[in-house]
Structure 1
Amino acid sequence: MLSELDYSAIFLTFKLASLTTFILLIISPPLAWWLARSRVVFRPLIEALVALPLVLPPTVLGFYLLLSFSPDNFIGRLWFSVTGGSLAFSFSGLLISSVIYSLPFVVQPLQSAFVNLDKNYLEVASTLGFNSIEAFYRVVFPMIMPSYIIAGALGFAHTVGEFGVVLMIGGNIPGETQVVSIALFDHVETLQYQQAHLLSFCLLAFSMTLLVFIYGVLQKRQQRVIHA
């Protein structure tokens, strides 16, 4: 049976994933739109920075974030002066690092959708008198909604499965920074294989369900394209 600490880790994991996804679904569409349409010379640099978590080992990213969150550095010192608490080894630190770590999983599907969007729709919106913001939210956004849903699901799933970054930033504080992946690691280290099996099965079932949902959305989108 799962222990009280396991349930606490599950709750904390879904709290972290939900808040991370909520933030990413707000900040990612404008960034993806800019990356899809901008022609400035430094765009490849911004794209590389966004995609960096895809190729950088999580422990490396976590290490530099941990240094940045330290009270000895500007970000950590500023956070401490405003909140009175430490950013490292806290839920707030986990949230910020999760947003950075999961950013490409939300931005890239949206960027791809914007790149493949038929520009004729934007021209029609312009002839109707829509400004750029109105065209985005009243024409573009509804058309890329399946990609938006998929991006959110990918960001949520990726946050649930985090290990290296959350271990570096949050450590292993029950009820504060101990997420499911860390609790699972604890069970394996202490040879509590039954609890490890239960947590692993929960993650496996969740991941499989989410993938079925994502591929279901993709299939419906493909069918709409075929019948259009």
Structure 2
Amino acid sequence: MLGFYLLLAFSPSSGPGRLLDHWLNIRLVFTFPGLVIASVIYSLPFMVNPLLAGFRNLPADLNEASRTLGKSDWTTLIRVLLPCLRAPLVTGAVLSFAHTIGEFGVVMMIGGSIPGVTRVASVAIYDEVQSTHYPEANHYALALLALSFSVLLPVYLINYRHNKSPL
């Protein structure tokens, strides 16, 4: 569903797509940059939730101390709060990446399946299954599974050690 609406929005025949195409000479439909932007939009909730949890867990004293020292809101955010959110930032980025790896709908709608340009593993799996080349589809799927685990496992281990309270 989201892929369809992004396709409509990015299309040169729509308002936003026409604006990008005519004024900025940027075409997002069936291009790699369009695929990246659509994937970021699609995976945004996986980044936002860890960040919200991280902001909620920050002590209010940090913000108050920074303001007491005369720092602006922007300086407080960049120099005080964001460095304290390193773990939630990494967690959100890794979750977003792992979520996007297996995405199919948005990828097909925005990127299509142009070999060497926008063909990604999830689309390759689909193509192999449609062609009844199950061993090849299995290889792609196992590679995606291994990549997802290799990206997620270190993050979960680091978070586990970080959140583990001493007895």
TM-score normalized with structure 2 length: 0.90
Of residues 132-141 and 156-165 in structure 1, the stretch that sits farther from structure 2 once superposed is 132-141
* Whole-angstrom distance in 1 between the partners of 2:34 and 2:27: 8
> In the TM superposition, what are the counterparts of 1:2-13 in structure 2 within 5 Å?
none
* Whole-angstrom distance in 2 between the partners of 1:101 and 1:191: 29
* Whole-angstrom distance in 2 between the partners of 1:127 and 1:85: 45
Q: Does 1:214 align with 2:135?
A: no
The offset of 1:91, in angstroms, is 1.6
Report if aligned partners of 1:62, 1:165 keep a CA contact under 8 Å in 2: yes
The offset of 1:111, in angstroms, is 1.2
Q: Does 1:189 align with 2:120?
A: no
Give the CA RMSD over aligned residues.
Answer: 1.7
Report if aligned partners of 1:150, 1:217 keep a CA contact under 8 Å in 2: no
SS at match of 1:65: helix
Q: Closer, same or farther in 2 for the Cα pair 1:121/1:85, shift >3 Å?
A: closer
Q: Does 1:143 align with 2:84?
A: yes
Q: Does 1:77 align with 2:13?
A: no
TM-score normalized with structure 1 length: 0.68
Q: Which residue of 1 aligns with 2:60?
A: 119
Report if aligned partners of 1:170, 1:177 keep a CA contact under 8 Å in 2: yes
Q: Which residue of 1 aligns with 2:36?
A: 95
* Whole-angstrom distance in 2 between the partners of 1:85 and 1:175: 20
Q: Which residue of 2 aligns with 1:107?
A: 48
* Whole-angstrom distance in 2 between the partners of 1:76 and 1:131: 37
Report if aligned partners of 1:163, 1:181 keep a CA contact under 8 Å in 2: yes
* Whole-angstrom distance in 2 between the partners of 1:138 and 1:69: 36
Q: Which residue of 2 aligns with 1:128?
A: 69
The runs of 5 or more residues in structure 2 that have no matched partner are: none
The offset of 1:166, in angstroms, is 0.8
Q: What is the CA deviation profile of residues 35-92 of structure 1, one whole-angstrom value per residue up to 9, with x for unaligned ones?
A: xxxxxxxxxxxxxxxxxxxxxxxxx111111111222211111122145464222222
Q: Closer, same or farther in 2 for the Cα pair 1:99/1:127, shift >3 Å?
A: same
Structure 2 counterpart of 1:124, one-letter code: A
Identity %: 43
Q: Which residue of 2 aligns with 1:200?
A: 141
The number of residue pairs the alignment matches comes to: 166
* Whole-angstrom distance in 1 between the partners of 2:117 and 2:24: 17
* Whole-angstrom distance in 2 between the partners of 1:134 and 1:84: 35
Larger RCO (CA within 8 A; separation ≥ 6): 1
Q: What is the CA deviation profile of residues 162-208 of structure 1, one whole-angstrom value per residue up to 9, with x for unaligned ones?
A: 10111111211111111110011111111212211211111111111
Q: Which residue of 2 aligns with 1:39?
A: none
* Whole-angstrom distance in 2 between the partners of 1:93 and 1:140: 31
Q: Which residue of 2 aligns with 1:158?
A: 99
> In the TM superposition, what are the counterparts of 1:56-67 in structure 2 within 5 Å?
60-67=1-8
Structure 2 counterpart of 1:216, one-letter code: L
Structure 1 counterpart of 2:95, one-letter code: L
Structure 1 counterpart of 2:11, one-letter code: S
Of residues 164-173 and 131-140 in structure 1, the stretch that sits farther from structure 2 once superposed is 131-140
